[in-house]
Each structure stands twice: as C-alpha cells, then as structure tokens.
A and B are shown apart, each in its own frame.
Chain A
C-alpha cells in the first residue's frame, strides 16, 4: 500500500542543480478553475453564519472561536495529515501565540483601568502576587503588533530548533508524539508554577478588546470577519504549500520516508520546515483565539488534552485534506456546544467514543469517506457514456 502511494505522488528525484526545473509544466488556467471555484465556494460558505446569526450573541462567538481553532487544525493537518508526524504538542505553539497576545491585551486593560501608559500599569495577577513593577521583558508586549509578531515568530523559532534536532536524529512515529507531548507538559507545568509572570492556573481572564490601527473590534460581526478572513488566507497559503512540489515531497515522506530519502531528498530538512511552518500557523491561530475569547488559561491552550483533541478534529474531518480539517473542527466544536447544553456530563464520553469510532471505522474521516464513495459511484456509472465504444 505504501509503495502504491509513493508512486501515486509522482515524485521524481530532485533535479541536478544545473538543470532547469522542468518537472511541472505551468498548469493551464482552465485546470485551476476547480480550485478557484472551490475557494470561492469556501468564502461564500463563510458568509453564511453572519447572515444567519448576525444578532445571535450566543452562537456567533462560538462559530468565530471555532474558526480560529480551524486555523489551528490546519497546522495539525500539515504536520500529521500530510507529513505523517503525529505531534501531540501543537498546543505548545498555539499557547505561545495565545499568551503573547494575552500579555498585550492584559497590559492594555490594566492601563485602561489603572491609568498610565500601557506597559507600566500593573495587571491583576501581578497585584495578586505583589509584583512591584511590570517586568522589563513584558512591558514592550503592550504593543499589539509586537505581540502578534512574536506570537508567530516565537513558535516558529521553537519549532525549528526542536524539529531540527528531533528529525536529525531520526525520531519519528510514536516517539515523536510522546516527546512533543512531554514538551507541552513541561511548559504547562512551568506556566502554572510561575504565577507572578503568567497568571498561574487562572491565566488572564477578562482581557481588553482587540484594537488595530486605532480601530477597536467592538462587535462580534467585526471579529467574525477578522477571523474568517484570516482563515481564508491561511487556507489558501496551506493549499499552495501542499499543491506545490514541496507538498508532494511531504506526502511522499508520509507514505514511505526511506524511499523518499533514497530518491535524494533531505527529508529531515523538509520535515523541519513543515514543522516550523505549522508552528507559525499554530501561533497565529492562538493569537486570534485569545483576541476572540478575551481570556487565556493554561488548561485551555497548553493542557495535553487540548492538543490531542485537535488531532481528533482533523481525524473526524479527514486527515490529509485541508477542507477536512476545517469541516471536522466546525462539526465537532459546534456539536460539543450543542451537547454540552443538552446533556452536560455526556460530552467527554461522546468525544472518547469519537476517538475510537473514527480510528477504527473511519480512518480517513468524513471527507476521505465521501471521496471514496464518489469514486465508487463513478465506477458504477461511467461519466462519459458517449465515449464507451461498443464492440463491433
């Protein structure tokens, strides 16, 4: 099975440095039409919740939050679905991003409440811990742009360093999963323990509203458009990545790494790059999530449970398909909210059952299942009947 996949990706050995890169002829515009149409449909679908729930103070925030999580799911899908690296520690990068923006919004809130320039006013958790003044490293974070930049940069740096070492020594499979999980646990424990600087187990509740270019995001609809727009951009970027030759190499690594290595690809570098890119994406998602949620806590973003839950969101939608990650996230997150309203205690059991059911019965997720069903239908019913030549 793995061999079939590796050939299906149509990989060729990397071209010699002097030879022109003539592997892919530029696709004619017409061939890109389905992609463009699909993206347009995607954007149109994103407009639906606003039309339906514009005045809904309950569901619109939940959908907005789910879209931020969907960006995070894209990052897990890049690493797991496309490259076959099951990271149980993506929450670490998400959490880094979330905390950076949380610092910014918390310092701004403190400045609004207690007066003084942002970055000098003490926040609630500092007062609770009797910290005398804002630490020098934290004060500049009051600038939202610096915070957002760090929310993307910091995860990228950590992921690059970690990925570089881990992939060089050829750690993969379950070992990779367990080590990433241990990393997350270490950071989680650290954050909980360092209450004077992180807010401890409570985190930072009741943050200020996001303010960009002097514009304050007061309404939920504005926030929704910010997140939905970000999702479209991230989705398009990921699509470009996985459709490129680079993406093909990633899929090849997933299906048969030894063979890809033998073809001359430096798989460790490819894996490091995709891990770093996913880290950046996760950090960005975390930044957005904090802006929507206006609260951050270690349990929610750094807990080991959260990181695994994201994996199952991707698995439900369909690993290795970007749209699957988005669909899975929305379905599970909205389902969770609905069930939590109806039967408060049942959700963990249903989620646990979902883990088992998807793994055992639906390993390719909803999108994968539909795709297979479509292929089977086509076989039953040849598309171009006129071309079927009857024997004379």
Chain B
C-alpha cells in the first residue's frame, strides 16, 4: 500500500510539476531573462486554448464568423468548421500566439522597457482587452475539447492507473525544454539573446539588432505559452477568463527558481509541483493544497528572495 501511495504521489508531483513548468516556461524567458513583466501571459495561454478550439471544434468557426458579423452589423453565416486534432492544434497554437506576441511586443511593450511597473499595468490592460474580445467572439461558456483517442487511455500500474495524457504532458514539457535549451545555447540567435540581455548597449554596438532580438524572443516565449494553453484546454477546459488562474502561479514559479537562470524555473516548477503532490496527499483537499503551497512559496521568497538559483545580485526589483 505504501509503495502504491508513494508511486501515486510521485507521479502526481511529476504531473503537477510538468504543468507548472510548461506554464512558466514562456514567462521564464520574458520575465526571467528579458525582465519584461507580461501580465497578459495568461491570455497567451488562453489564446492557445482557443486556437485549439477553432481547429478541433466544428462549431467554432461558424460561431466566430457570426459574432464578427454581429460586431459589424452584418449577417454573416458559414457552416464550414475545422475538425482536426490536437497534433495539428499544437503547432497552430504556437504560430498564432507567436504572432500575437510579436505584435504585442512591437506595438506596446517595446515602448515601456525600463519601466517594469508601468509594463505590468499596461499588460494587465492588454489582458482585459483580450479576454473581452474572446468573450465577445466565442461566448462566455466553457469549451471542452476531446483528447485524441491515442492518448485517451490509462496505464494500469499496480493499485492505480496513470492517465496517458498526463504522460504526454510530461513528454511535451521535456520537448519544449529541449527546444528552448537548443535555441538558447546552441544557435547563433540564442547567443545574440544572451548577449542582449547581458549588455544591451554593447550588443547593439557589435551590430546586433536588439529590437529584432527582443521582438523575436518575446514572440517565441508567447508561442510556448500558446502550446501550454492548447495542452491545458484538453486537460481541463478553455474559458475566456482562464488566464489569471495560471499567471500568478507562473510568476511564483519563476521567482522561486531564481531570476536570470533560465532553468531555475524548471527547479522552481519541480519544487512547487512536488510540494503540491505531497500536501494534497496529506490534506486530501486539492484546493487547500494549492493555498498551503502558495503560502509556503511566499514565505520561501520572503526569506530567500533570490530563489533557488541565486544570480549574483543584491537588490531584487
């Protein structure tokens, strides 16, 4: 029995961790490395989820066209809708949300570099607008999506079974991490990103277009959030106001891991996820487990503001 309990807790912890890491990965780049406070990160997830909805649900496109028509006072109708699956939705979400992120960086965030608190407020404004636009276009109801049959299984393992989709999430998280690692440390563009974040002026003096680097990095990070949103839409549901639920946890994950260290967020996610797995086992109540872990994280940050992997800095602002 103890063995089963342990295995179940361990797997739940791994599953929670992978969800957290996937949520926070984009933020680890924009917030941890670029130092941009993007409160609309949660809405990037939401847009990814709705991309999946449009791609997978036959009724999505007709609803979209009808709502657009209503906005312009026209009577637009179509019965055409896509009915593809998750494996198409993931790259589509990445591309679409990257594009949105690119536009956001170029039109707004670029003008607010060096003013973190103002960026915070402005991006909160963006998140309000995105939420309302999606609500107007698709309605306020929950959108449930089907997991592809290949993944809609469970692996029996002694006393309990592991949903295959959770294993899939762990796999996708690992793949995303690998992609980020390769991009950051094995490509010349990654070298440019690191150069720009270390010393912007010097990088610019050496002929790196810092604006291009900023915009593309931000777009890539947003795309990762889109992928995460697409995955979570299948795990839970999609809703226009799902973003804020994720964004606070994501920020806490990045801070816990330590700013600046890209893979600190991985450690942060593992620590918080494991904490949730263990506390949930003790308290039974999953929501209270979240509360307890969140409070523990706050206390941890208060006493160790530098996070697990402390970069060599003195003030944290």
Contacts and interface: CB of A to CB of B under 8 A. Distances in A.
Interface of A: 86, 165-166, 169-179, 181-183, 185-186, 189-190, 192-193, 304-305, 308, 311-312, 315, 345, 348-349, 351-356, 358-360, 363
A164 to B, nearest CB: 10
Given A193-B285, A356-B122, A359-B122, A173 B317 contact: yes
Interface string B104-115: 000010011000
Contacts of A183: 298
Interface string B283-302: 00101101100110110011
Given A165-B302, A189-B290, A308-B121, A178 B108 contact: no
Contacts of B303: 165, 169
Most B CB contacts (10 A, CB to CB) among A192, A308, A345 go to A308
A171 B136 contact: no
Contact of A182 (B132, B136, B248, B285): B248
Most buried by B among A172, A174, A183, A349: A174
B126 A193 contact: no
Contacts of B315: 170, 172
Interface residues of B, number: 42
Contact of B117 (A174, A189, A193): A174
A349 B129 contact: yes
Interface of B: 37, 108, 111-112, 116-118, 120-122, 124-129, 131-133, 135-136, 244, 248, 251-252, 255, 285, 287-288, 290-291, 294-295, 297-298, 301-303, 305, 315-317
B294 A174 contact: no
A243 B249 CA distance: 39
Which among B116, B120, B295 has the greatest number of chain A C-beta atoms within 10 A?
B120
A60 B7 CA distance: 61
A182 B294 contact: yes
A326 B316 CA distance: 32
Given A170-B316, A359-B121, A348 B132 contact: yes
Given A178-B251, A312-B125, 14 more contacts: A165-B302, A169-B302, A173-B117, A173-B317, A174-B117, A179-B302, A182-B298, A193-B285, A193-B288, A315-B121, A354-B125, A355-B126, A359-B125, A360-B111
Contacts of A173: 116-117, 316-317
Contacts of A315: 121
Contact of B248 (A185, A345, A355): A185
Binding site secondary structure of chain A? helix
Given A173-B116, A174-B120, A352-B128, A189 B291 contact: yes
A244 B19 CA distance: 50
B317 to A, nearest CB: 3
Contact of B120 (A171, A177, A348, A349): A177
Nearest to B252: A182
B125 A185 contact: no
A349 B133 contact: yes
Nearest to A358: B121
B106 to A, nearest CB: 14
